[in-house]
Amino acid sequence: MVTTGGPYALGGSFPRGDGGGKVGSRQVRRVDRTVLVTGAARQLSGRFVRQVRRHPAVSRVIAVDTRAPGYPLGEAEFVRADIRQPSIVSALAAHAVDTVVHLDLGPAPGPTGGRAAAKERNVLGTLQLLGACQKLPTLRRLVIGSSTQVYGHPGRGPAVLDEDAPPTAAGGGGFAQDVAEIEEYVRGFARRRPEVAVTVLRFAHLLGAGVDSPFAAYFRLPVLPTVLGYDPRLQFLHEHDALEVLGRAVAGPGDGAEEGEQGAALGPGTYNVAGEGVLLLSQAARRLGRPTVPVARPVTPWLGSALRAAGVRGVSAEQFASLAHGRVVRTARLRAALGGPLEYTTAAAFAEFAAAHGGPLSPEAVTRALDRVEEVVRRG
Amino acid sequence: MGDAKVIPFDEGDRRRARESAGRPGEPGGPEEERAAGGAGGGLDEALARGFAFLRRRLTGAYEVDEFGFDPELTDEVLLRLLRPLYERYFRVEVRGIENVPAEGGALLVSNHSGTLPLDGLMLQVAVHDRHPARRQLRLLAADLVFRLPVVNELARKAGHTRACAEDARELLDRGELVGVMPEGFKGLGKPFAERYKLQRFGRGGFVATALRARVPIVPCSIVGAEEIYPMIGNSRVLARLLGLPYFPVTPTFPWLGLLGAVPLPTKWTIEFGEPIETADQPSEAAEDPMVMFQLTDQVRETIQHTLYKLLVARRSVFF
């Protein structure tokens, strides 16, 4: 089980609420947690806002973004604020926020804007948010939705990366470098506010039936461009599991409410979050049923920029870099903390996506065609 | 191979089946015991197996491990392609295969030579084909292998990974048979005059890894690989231009172009020595430089002596 020695012994810190009702023989303290979630207009963040509201210990959810989300947030309160502006300080203080979940990170800044805008939002946004958090006396818990891209595109180094692997300073900018810088700031924050439990979750590529992520966009292309002579190992994370892990991280150790149906909570620290097992890109394309077109590596940055300029989503120079070298992370630490593996393996997460977005060369179609060929060969 | 479809066989169509029998992949040599089918339906069964294989490959219904190792592709395609080279061209003779443990992690340490790492590939075939447990050898390869397009992809699918302590440890902990050639490029690219003289064994990192994982070290000596490309020169300028550790000049390469890259058909012998146990060492041995040097030397000396012994017994380079 998770150690209760974490700095967030919630039951004692917040004796507010309805005084705690007796459930069975065990006393469950009802605590009023106020959770602030950034990037509410992003898909994962929006879904998390709706889910975390149902957590028994959470009484208020404040969703923050610069633009209104395109879907109802349920009971959550929406605050239009830019985390890059100092106004975020007053938003945090006014609501006496005790838990901040920072999910406003991504390779694309939103519907519009280029690389520079994305970097500003990722890095400066986090810097400003952490600055505001530092001035917030009520803060007890900080959860960062990071990415396994922090490991860069490891052309060298071990094949399976664990949390202690040094983040390779991915030169040439890109989202990988953003994440590396952000995590550096977060480590600095954790040093300055040791009483705040900081959990960094490094998510693998998100996938699921309705997920809108760079890899989901890539796999929806009619023809998948690949890098000639490279077949990367890929790891996917089902959206359901991402939300589950975020919920466990918010619950925090020592929270009486999480003991029951919610399962073990995640303590502070850094965790790789990815489905078990790997798929090779070629294998994934076959399971999906889409043809691939290999592109020579020197051409890929140029092609990536051109396709991006043409408005094709899912391919970019950075995406091609991911398609050359795979990135596989070890998830033993998360497994130990959760007491078991995630619900979806990499293959299962991909299978669900393939069922919804499968292409013309689906395994069934290929099998039927091969059956016919075999018939012809055998019977003439 | 268990899910091969059973398809009713028509007596009158042997002719057709015979026509398509010319393709490679027919059972032969070490494959015989696996082709468990009866005498009559051999061809038909091969056909059914072939289609079952194609079906699995084209629909992606196979597994790879976290290192990218694709056991089915390795067994059915990659090793099959290497086998003619192993059996017919280099006529590899294997001795002491019983020294390779049948299960659990073990570290195979071998000499390295031949300009191109053919010795590693032949070692993989030898372990797989000659060992009763048909073990797969997971080789630790140089960074360069994983920087080259196509080569990196094939190396991962064949079960190899980058030579680093983390990967080696992970594989050994999973009970895999890991192969390492500590001489590295110093051995691979040494001049012809230095053949069968073992180069420095790195810093002995492989010994530390084996000690930490508590697996035996199996010394392995390969004779024959050192003469396949008699390297008489090394063009440093070209090597630097191409970003390679060395650029070999042999009597035929690069003068005859690609034809000059055909290796000489030498006769090979691979001998596995007695395993050196590490489980009885104290747990702090991996941190003790003296123990490490001693073990490294012991492995190196064993390989060197076996090489000399095999060389003395050898009748000719080619027979």
Span A202-224, pLDDT tens digits: 999 999 877 888 889 999 999 99
On whether the CB atoms of residues A264 and A339 are closer than 8 A, the answer is yes
Question: String of b and e for A323-355 (b: at least 16 CB within 10 Å)?
Answer: bbbbbbbbbebbeebbeeebebbbbbbbbbbbe
Assess whether pLDDT exceeds 90 at residue A119: no
Radius of gyration of chain B (CA): 21
Is there a domain that residue B240 lies in?
Answer: no
Distance from CA of A235 to the nearest CA of B (A): 9
Is there a domain that residue B205 lies in?
Answer: yes
CATH number of the domain enclosing B167? 3.40.1130.10
Assess whether pLDDT exceeds 50 at residue B1: no
Once rounded to an integer, what is the mean pLDDT over residues B23-30? 40
In a shared domain, residues B42 and B181: no
Instruction: Tell me the pTM.
Output: 0.84
What range does the domain containing B284 cover?
71-228+263-313
Residue A263's pLDDT band (cuts 50, 70, 90)? low
In a shared domain, residues B42 and B96: no
List the single best residue of A151, A228, A283, A327 to mutate versus B (max B Cβ within 10 A).
A283
**Residue in this structure with the two tokens 């060395």, named with its chain if needed:** B246
Chain A positions touching B17 (Cβ under 8 A) are: 377-378
Q: In what order do the strands lie in the sheet with B269-272?
A: B93-95, B269-272, B217-223, B106-110, B177-180, B137-141, B161-162
C-beta atoms surrounding A114 within 10 Å:
10
In a shared domain, residues B145 and B285: yes
Of residues A17 and A134, the one with the higher pLDDT is A134
**Closest partner residue to B162 among A156, A231, A284, by Cβ?**
A156
In a shared domain, residues B101 and B134: yes
Is there a domain that residue B245 lies in?
Answer: no
* Count: domains in chain B: 2
In a shared domain, residues B137 and B75: yes
Of residues A84 and B300, the one with the higher pLDDT is B300
What does the pLDDT look like over B63-102, one tens digit per residue?
Answer: 999 999 999 999 999 999 999 999 999 999 999 999 999 9
Chain B positions touching A278 (Cβ under 8 A) are: 64-66, 68
Is there a domain that residue B236 lies in?
Answer: no
Residue A113's pLDDT band (cuts 50, 70, 90)? low
Q: Residue A133: what pLDDT?
A: 92
In a shared domain, residues B119 and B24: no
In a shared domain, residues B33 and B138: no
Is there a domain that residue B84 lies in?
Answer: yes
Could you tell me where the beta strands, DSSP code E, fall in A228-319?
A: 233-234, 236-238, 269-273, 279-280, 292-295
Of residues A6 and B281, the one with the higher pLDDT is B281
Assess whether pLDDT exceeds 50 at residue A24: no
In a shared domain, residues B158 and B208: yes
Partner-chain contact A286 B59, CB within 8 Å:
yes
Of residues B298 and A70, the one with the higher pLDDT is B298
Q: Residue B204: what pLDDT?
A: 80
Is there a domain that residue B244 lies in?
Answer: no
Is there a domain that residue B66 lies in?
Answer: no
What gap in Å lies between CA B223 and CA B245, rounded to an integer?
23
Of residues B193 and B14, the one with the higher pLDDT is B193
In a shared domain, residues B47 and B77: no
Strand A224-227, strand A292-295: pairing: parallel
- Give counts: helices (H), strands (E), chain B: 12, 9
> CA-nearest residue of chain A to B163?
A158
In a shared domain, residues B112 and B43: no
Assess whether pLDDT exceeds 50 at residue A286: yes
Is there a domain that residue B300 lies in?
Answer: yes
Distance from CA of A229 to the nearest CA of B (A): 4
> Is A78 at the interface with chain B, CB within 8 A?
no
| Segment 82-141 of chain A within 8 Å of chain B by CB | none
In a shared domain, residues B161 and B25: no
| Segment 199-228 of chain A within 8 Å of chain B by CB | 227-228
Q: What is the largest CA-CA distance in chain A?
A: 81
Q: Residue B16: what pLDDT?
A: 41
List the one residue out of A211, A179, A237 whose CA is nearest residue A44.
Answer: A211
In a shared domain, residues B121 and B38: no
**Closest partner residue to B167 among A158, A370, A380, by Cβ?**
A158
